[in-house]
Amino acid sequence: MRSGVPWAGSPARRRRRDEAGSAILEATRAALVELGWSKLTMGDVATRAGVAKTTLYRRWTNK
């Protein structure tokens, strides 16, 4: 029997790191200034922020 809690019995989910979000936004700003919108890539932002590209795509689905 399931309880009324939506995630009861589900495996624990990882919490998003607030530091990663801040690093991503800072890296995006720096890349935009340096490269411009047309040359900005998710890979470049991920490298600058020190996170995996999958981290970016989990938060934002596109550029």
Q: What distance lies between CA 6 and its chain's CA centroid? A: 25
C-alpha span between 3 and 49 (Å, rounded): 40
Q: Is 44 part of a structural domain of the chain?
A: yes
Q: Is 4 part of a structural domain of the chain?
A: no
Q: Is 5 part of a structural domain of the chain?
A: no
Q: Is 9 part of a structural domain of the chain?
A: no
For residue 33, the one-letter residue type is: V
Question: Domain containing 23: what range?
Answer: 18-59
Q: Is 51 part of a structural domain of the chain?
A: yes
Whole-Å CA distances, 27 to 13, 19, 61: 26, 12, 17
> Domain with 44 in it: what CATH number?
1.10.10.60
Q: What phi and psi values does residue 32 have, to the nearest 5 degrees?
A: -65, -40
Domain count, the chain: 1
Measured at the CA of 62, the angle between CA 51 and CA 24, to 5 degrees, comes to: 30
One pLDDT digit (tens) per residue for the chain, 63 residues = 555 555 555 555 556 677 889 999 999 999 999 999 999 999 999 999 999 999 999 988 888
pLDDT at residue 22, as a whole number: 93
